[in-house]
Structure 1
């Protein structure tokens, strides 16, 4: 199983009055991890879109264990939990770099659709993209 690692530093704007990262900011971090993961497969998300493949979010989840704080260095570990020809589930671990503490775990489920938002069978219609994803499963 391939695990992508994206490094980020918590910005002040991402924190709330309590000095911890607001829960809504974990989802943009998931997106960073997912984009990096896809790019590491050898294709960018924008290249997938140009070919006609979109990945709309159909479900999301996050379990918060401990809040990240301003200027924490974090690592977003991203990997595929499961994949089928019509959908992919990505998992994310948000780790504080200095102590390796797992701050949050998340997952997002995405469908493979065309530009008209019709489900596509990636294995049949876009075999090159399908193969790239399978190599990283």
Structure 2
């Protein structure tokens, strides 16, 4: 299994009145981690779109364990939990860098769709793209 790590620093705008990161920001961080994961295996999400493949979000989950705070340095760990020809499931850990504590964990599920938003079998339609992604699961 391949694990990508993306570092981010909490910005003031991401916090609420209590000084804690607002829960909605974790999903934006998952997106950053997912994009960096795809880039790290030799393609970009925009490359995928140029080839007529998109990954709409159809399911998401986040368990908040401890709140992140302003200027916390975080690591977004991203890996592929499951994949078949029609969908891919990414998992994420949000790790506070200073103490290596997992402060949140989550997942997102994405079907492979074409420009008409029809689910496709990426294994058959784009075997090279399938193989790059598949290599990360094994």
Q: How much does 1:34 deviate?
A: 0.2
Indicate whether 1:12 and 2:12 are aligned: yes
Per-residue deviation at 1:98? 0.2
Structure 2 CA distance for aligned equivalents of residues 51 and 80 of structure 1: 21
- For residues 13 and 49 of structure 2, the distance between their equivalents in structure 1, rounded to whole angstroms, comes to 30
* TM-score computed with the length of structure 1 as normaliser: 0.99
Aligned counterpart, 2:60: 60
Q: Distance in 1 between matches of 2:105 and 2:17?
A: 23
**Partner Cα distance (1:63, 1:112) in 2:** 25
1:95 — aligned with what? 95
Residue 39, structure 1, aligned to residue 35, structure 2: no
TM-score (norm 2): 0.99
CA distance in 1, matches of 2:86, 2:72: 37
- Structure 2 residues without counterparts, runs of 5 or longer: none
| Equivalent position SS for 2:74 | strand
Moved over 2 A (4+): none
* Contiguous gaps of at least 5 residues in structure 1: none
RMSD: 0.4
> What pairs up with 1:76-95 in 2 under 5 angstroms?
76-95=76-95
Count of paired positions:
137
Measured against aligned partners, the alpha-carbon deviations of 1:44-97 in whole angstroms (never above 9, x if no partner) come to: 000000000000000000000000000000000000000000000000000000
**Offset at residue 41 of structure 1 (A):** 1.2
